[in-house]
Amino acid sequence: MDEKYSPGSFCREINCPEHEALESLEEEAYLEKKKNHCQDCTAWRFFLWLEQRNFRVIRTIDEVPAKELAARLKGIDPSTVEHLTIEEILCL
């Protein structure tokens, strides 16, 4: 591995050399080969542990102010509507 594994990182992020053999596979074929190919990988064992317990990994983002979020939801540059209220932005 080029970089050390840390919790929450993915094979591609740490440039795992073992991942190259899986690159061309998709969905079920990928998962089936990975079960055998990556059985000693800490990241993969953690993923399987989560799956067995019906947990999901959710990546969060930094908190966005409500007005900026409203503008982004409407596809508007937040700086162009900073003089409007949230309700006005959502009505555009």
Percent share of the chain, pLDDT over 90: 8
C-alpha to C-alpha distance for 90 and 38, rounded to whole angstroms: 47
**What does the pLDDT look like over 35-73, one tens digit per residue?**
888 887 777 787 788 888 988 767 666 788 888 888 888
What is the per-residue pLDDT for 90? 87
CA distance 47 to 52: 9
More reliable by pLDDT, 89 or 12: 89
For the record, the structure tokens of 78 come out as 């937040």
Long-range contacts of 44-53 (CB under 8 A, 24+ apart): 46/7
Q: What is the pTM of this model?
A: 0.44
> How many alpha carbons fall within 13 Å on the CB side of residue 60?
3
Tokens found for residue 13 = 């992020």
pLDDT of residue 80: 92
Reply yes or no on whether the pLDDT at 85 is more than 80.
Answer: yes
Angle at 69 between CA 81 and CA 65, to 5 degrees: 90
Closest CA to 71 of 91, 41, 43: 91
